[in-house]
Amino acid sequence: MAKRNNAQRSAGGIVFAPFRWLFKLLFWAFCAVVLLQLWYLAQITYWARFNPSSTSFMNIRLEEMRKTDRSAQLKQAWVPYDQISMNLKRAVVAAEDSGFMSHYGVEPEAIEVAIQKNQRRGKVTHGGSTITQQLAKNLFLTSKRSYIRKAQELVIAFMLEAIWGKRRILEVYLNVVEWGNGVYGAQAASSYYYGVNASQLSAAQAARLASMLPAPRYFDKRRASPFLARKTATVQARLYQVAVPK
């Protein structure tokens, strides 16, 4: 009888050993995810008062450029929110996220539409991202599309909305978004395309820059694109129909 009980306990130990390893693995994976979120939170809290010197997207692009030119440098110069043309602020919101002032970083309807499109195509091609989500991706993530990355993007977007607010989100976005090959931010874009400061952009110039998003490198090479011209006209017509932070 004792031998039978010992055999049963041994068999039970063999059966449950893999589950103990699985539980440990899940526990440490959970801890790693939590620590990663805390790191994002710490960065966001710091950047609420201090400007980021670079972003994940900028670092990735610079590395790509240096594969063919080791001396390559990005074009970017930070300008405060008040020194960015109101035309550009309105144009970017009109083109990228007309509900920017009313949502909390995410628009569920847009995400639902994007999921339906992805399901029809059989792959992730649309994200339904708000400006806040685009900033979250630019700051911390990569351009690789996946539902896991999208989930992380949503979490970071909620953090940004909770800690920064709309004015800071738009200020940072306009200073770090890509506007051409190695061209980042409103000041560099204004100088690169029009030879003016970000504060001097006209409504037409601002509408054109906003219309180049989210494919600025493509339109940098196709500045005479009829599609770009049509989109620019549409954005300019909507310029004063959107609200932006003061």
pLDDT attached to residue 17: 67
Residues in the chain: 246
Percent of the chain topping pLDDT 70: 85
pLDDT attached to residue 13: 52
Q: Is the pLDDT of residue 22 over 90?
A: no
User: 79-92 pLDDT, tens per residue?
Assistant: 999 999 999 999 99
Confidence of residue 186 (pLDDT cuts 50, 70, 90): very high
pLDDT attached to residue 14: 53
Mean pLDDT of 208-217: 96
Sign of CA dihedral 174, 175, 176, 180: positive
pLDDT attached to residue 8: 47
Confidence of residue 24 (pLDDT cuts 50, 70, 90): confident
Q: How far apart are CA 176 and CA 182, in angstroms?
A: 11
Q: Is the pLDDT of residue 54 over 90?
A: yes
pLDDT attached to residue 140: 96
Q: What average pLDDT is seen over the chain?
A: 88
Q: Is the pLDDT of residue 214 over 60?
A: yes
pLDDT attached to residue 25: 82
Q: How far apart are CA 56 and CA 141, in angstroms?
A: 6
Contacts of 105 (CB under 8 A, 6+ apart): 130, 132, 133, 154, 157, 158, 160, 161
User: 90-109 pLDDT, tens per residue?
Assistant: 999 999 999 999 998 888 66
Mean pLDDT of 55-69: 96
What residues are paired with 180 via a beta bridge? 183
Nearest to 132 by CA among 152, 111, 156: 156
- Look up the pTM and report it: 0.85
DSSP assignment, residue 225? Answer: -
pLDDT attached to residue 73: 96
pLDDT attached to residue 16: 59
pLDDT attached to residue 152: 94
User: 116-169 pLDDT, tens per residue?
Assistant: 554 445 544 444 689 999 999 999 999 888 888 999 999 999 999 999 999 999
The more confidently predicted of residues 141 and 21 is: 141
Burial class (CB in 10 A: 0-12, 13-18, 19+), 100: buried
3-state secondary structure 118-171: HHHHCCCCCCCCCHHHHHHHHHHCCCCCCHHHHHHHHHHHHHHHHHCCHHHHHH
pLDDT attached to residue 224: 94
Confidence of residue 39 (pLDDT cuts 50, 70, 90): very high
Q: How far apart are CA 100 and CA 104, in angstroms?
A: 8
